[in-house]
Structure 1
């Protein structure tokens, strides 16, 4: 059982500052985050998953400020346009689950359903959320890929994670998201990179407000909670606990803070990147230059460049891909310096 220390009451719900696993009683619980920090929300989700009792069913709902969320086994240099993200000041976050890349902003609401691994069914979870949309007069259905679609347009992408005893299924819901920014953030024209990571499946998308303009984050959240209650045949309403970053200041909050910090550490953020090879070519001062760069766990492990000093090329080995400065590489000629600058620009 998850015991919640309760303080003030917000809109008839409980405001939580601490949650602790107490027993193995089967129950259904719901949490709504009022933080829009993607690092916090994903850390809290991970913490809930790790600490909730094995038989429990948990619903977690939140929305994030503009950010791109990639799967744990994806290559950010292949999946997204990092230069555009930097220009727009939009971070990317590597989540703990697999699956593809998604865009979050305040017009997108995220849901996460946790349960015992023995009863996990991805389609059932997607159907629960689709039925909440149906209650709001949106003709949503679950397709063969277990995505939620309306009239053939994808409105929700999802992913899942399984352990020996627990599982969760989480996804997005495009209510009134900035589709233009979404397209810019997820556009990547890098055809020269071959990666062992999971590639995203691109689909045409639309916002829910295209069908029902009155739907908001709050109405969607309420509809999903209602369906969650009905699904678990709860006699009395589920206690919905509101949370925000104040829980980090409470006893036990240091565990969530640690998970949040881990998501931002280089070893997870970039070091988790699957092995890849990037092949580049150009002409410098009339000389054709071809480079084949192989990186593993975010660091260069092999560099083959034609028309380039081998001694200079060796200096790239062991360095963090895309984090190299021109002054990090010693070049003895103007030609070598030009090649170094080109390589760094292309990473």
Structure 2
């Protein structure tokens, strides 16, 4: 994702990671908390799909499926007297990219969060040559108006100008783009990173809490780098689990407080580059 400049966004509701591209449409239904029901909302979306001649149904997990394949997942949040239920619809998404970006984490990355349930997915374009973003939105909106006896309202485009008129929307938009929000509240996890360099074997263990490295162990097989390994482990503690944090941890190399030889400095530069790419 980093190499291909795919942004990572963390939402307020629960649920697993979702892949978004121009072929994926999101929908949201906001309601009083007492009226919230996942199946009812999913069935409303299904009725919209039936208008488009797509034989969709709701499974036992409240996912929307076609021929047993998942085309839409959803999540929700309950706040005081209100609730919202939002979901995705894979209209014409790039499923190869979806599989690539949502691949399971490596075995050396162990987290304490709840694992997502993996499902076979499909696109509704595979069941309709004419469906697109606009026709899906219109069909679901039509079913919403019928179900709630609501009048038509023109859509609102969430532009910079619109957000500037509503400070709370702007505040929320800005908050979810920060490092503290995206990474600072992630579940605890441990990450073991191993690499065989020409000059030594490296084994690094990181323990991460709320996006910060709270403990680290570094083993470098080269005898002349034992002191460097110990120093690096100490430097990694209390740093962000990020490119920036790793860069700060390696800052002692540039200061050369350990009187490192030039080849050692080059080796540590290679180590830093690898560690950044491996996070």
Calculate the TM-score normalised by the size of structure 1: 0.69
The 1:182/1:341 distance shift into structure 2, 3 A limit, reads closer
- Report the CA distance between 1:225 and its aligned residue: 1.1
The 1:124/1:260 distance shift into structure 2, 3 A limit, reads same
Is it true that 1:314 corresponds to 2:257 in the alignment? no
Please give the secondary structure, in 1, of the residue aligned with 2:71. Answer: strand
Q: 1:237 aligns with which of 136, 141, 151?
A: 151
Moved over 6 A (4+): none
CA distance in 2 between counterparts of 1:346 and 1:218 reads 40
State the number of aligned residues: 259
CA distance in 2 between counterparts of 1:340 and 1:106 reads 35
2:60: which partner in 1?
Answer: 144
1:161: which partner in 2?
Answer: 77
Structure with bigger RCO (C-alpha 8 Å, 6+ apart) = 1
- Report the CA distance between 1:306 and its aligned residue: 3.0
CA distance in 2 between counterparts of 1:242 and 1:339 reads 49
Is it true that 1:172 corresponds to 2:85 in the alignment? no
Question: Considering only CA atoms, is the larger Rg found in Structure 1 or Structure 2?
Answer: 2
Q: Can you list the C-alpha shifts for 1:200-245, whole angstroms capped at 9, x where unaligned? A: 322221111111111121111111111111212x1x6333443331
Unaligned runs of 5+ in 1: 1-81
Please give the secondary structure, in 2, of the residue aligned with 1:301. Answer: strand
CA distance in 2 between counterparts of 1:290 and 1:328 reads 20
2:223: which partner in 1?
Answer: none
More strand by share: 1
CA distance in 1 between counterparts of 2:273 and 2:95 reads 35
1:41: which partner in 2?
Answer: none
* 8 Å Cα contact 2:250-2:272 kept in structure 1: no
- Report the CA distance between 1:340 and its aligned residue: 4.7
1:55: which partner in 2?
Answer: none
Calculate the TM-score normalised by the size of structure 2: 0.84
The 1:90/1:282 distance shift into structure 2, 3 A limit, reads closer
- Report the CA distance between 1:286 and its aligned residue: 7.0
Please give the secondary structure, in 2, of the residue aligned with 1:104. Answer: coil
* 8 Å Cα contact 1:262-1:268 kept in structure 2: yes
CA distance in 1 between counterparts of 2:277 and 2:22 reads 33
Could you tell which deviates more after superposition, 215-224 or 175-184? Answer: 175-184
Please give the secondary structure, in 1, of the residue aligned with 2:44. Answer: helix
CA distance in 2 between counterparts of 1:108 and 1:198 reads 24
1:247: which partner in 2?
Answer: 162
CA RMSD of superposed structures (Å): 2.2
Is it true that 1:192 corresponds to 2:108 in the alignment? yes
The 1:90/1:342 distance shift into structure 2, 3 A limit, reads closer
Unaligned runs of 5+ in 2: 221-225
The equivalences for 1:1-347 within 5 A come to 82-83=1-2, 86-87=3-4, 89-232=5-148, 234=149, 237-245=151-159, 246-250=161-165, 253-284=166-197, 288-307=201-220, 308=226, 309-323=229-243, 324-325=246-247, 327-330=250-253, 332=258, 333=260, 334=264, 337=268, 339-347=271-279
Please give the secondary structure, in 2, of the residue aligned with 1:318. Answer: coil
The 1:314/1:164 distance shift into structure 2, 3 A limit, reads same
The 1:312/1:249 distance shift into structure 2, 3 A limit, reads closer
Q: Can you list the C-alpha shifts for 1:30-89, whole angstroms capped at 9, x where unaligned? A: xxxxxxxxxxxxxxxxxxxxxxxxxxxxxxxxxxxxxxxxxxxxxxxxxxxx33xx32x3
1:49: which partner in 2?
Answer: none
